[in-house]
């Protein structure tokens, strides 16, 4: 937990809701970078299908790669709308590069980003502890789970659906919440977060 504690202290006072040019640029860069990651991850997704032989839907324990911008971007800039903005940019870039899910990539990005955004909004963008990040990550995973259930897996048995939801939630805790904390810590050490709340 010592690693996590370094990132948890919020800046003094309530963070500003006004976006600076640097905030827009940084969130856009995160979105574009992860858009490329999303596209590549989509290409590799089929290679993980054998995991489902071990445990049905085990592949979904790797799902959270698509959710990282929804927590990473707001953790860095701490501005309203950062989670949704980052996910939508990432989804848009992925779609433009030829995502196999086509236009639905944008819908996925919207529901994933919006779910995380609601959690941060509930705290008035003033709490950045690991439990808040974890809640936002799991909320994003839950939104993706519901979306995929309705569009791609409507005929799956309920126990398989629930197992998939649990795996996606665990994946979100590890890759999205934990991964975002570690990335921010590394970026801070590199000195690239000066001027951002997460850099303090």
pLDDT (0 to 100) of residue 9 = 39
pLDDT (0 to 100) of residue 11 = 43
Contact by Cβ (8 Å): 41, 65? yes
Residues 6+ apart with CB under 8 A from 199: 188, 193
- Report the C-alpha dihedral over residues 81, 77, 170, 163, rounded to 10 degrees: 10
Instruction: Please tell me whether residue 12 adopts helix, strand or coil conformation.
Output: coil
Q: What DSSP designation does 194 have?
A: T
pLDDT tens track, the chain, 200 positions: 444 444 443 443 456 678 999 999 999 999 999 999 999 999 999 999 999 999 889 999 999 999 999 999 999 999 999 999 999 999 999 999 999 898 999 999 999 999 999 999 999 999 999 999 999 999 999 999 999 999 999 999 999 999 999 999 999 999 999 999 999 999 999 888 888 888 76
Which tokens in the block code for residue 21? Answer: 């040019």
For residue 135, what are the domain limits? 2-199
pLDDT (0 to 100) of residue 5 = 40
State the total domains in the chain. 1
pLDDT (0 to 100) of residue 17 = 78
pLDDT (0 to 100) of residue 14 = 57
User: What's the per-residue H, E or C state across 31-90?
Assistant: HHHHHHHHHHHHHHHHHHCCHHHHCCCHHHHHHHHHHCHHHHHHHHHCCCCHHHHHHHHH
Q: What is the CATH number of the domain that holds 140?
A: 1.10.1760
Q: Side-chain half-sphere of 59: how many Cα atoms within 13 Å?
A: 13
Residues 6+ apart with CB under 8 A from 152: none
């Amino acid at each position: 937990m010592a690693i996590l504690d370094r990132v948890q202290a919020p800046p003094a006072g309530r963070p500003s809701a006004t976006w600076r040019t640097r905030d827009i640029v940084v969130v856009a860069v995160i979105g574009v970078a992860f858009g490329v990651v999303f596209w590549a991850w989509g290409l590799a997704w089929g290679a993980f299908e054998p995991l489902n032989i071990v445990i049905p839907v085990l592949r979904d324990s790797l799902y959270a790669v698509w959710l990282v911008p929804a927590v990473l971007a707001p953790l860095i800039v701490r501005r309203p709308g950062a989670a949704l903005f980052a996910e939508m940019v990432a989804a848009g870039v992925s779609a433009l590069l030829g995502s196999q899910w086509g236009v639905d990539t944008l819908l996925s990005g919207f529901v994933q980003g919006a779910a995380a955004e609601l959690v941060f909004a509930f705290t008035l963008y003033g709490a950045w502890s690991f439990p808040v990040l974890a809640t936002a990550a799991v909320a994003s995973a839950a939104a993706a789970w519901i979306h995929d259930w309705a569009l791609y897996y409507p005929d799956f048995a309920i126990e398989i659906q629930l197992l998939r939801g649990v795996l996606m939630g665990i994946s979100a805790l590890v890759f999205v919440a934990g991964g975002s904390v570690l990335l921010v810590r590394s970026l801070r050490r590199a000195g690239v977060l000066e001027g951002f709340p997460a850099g303090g």
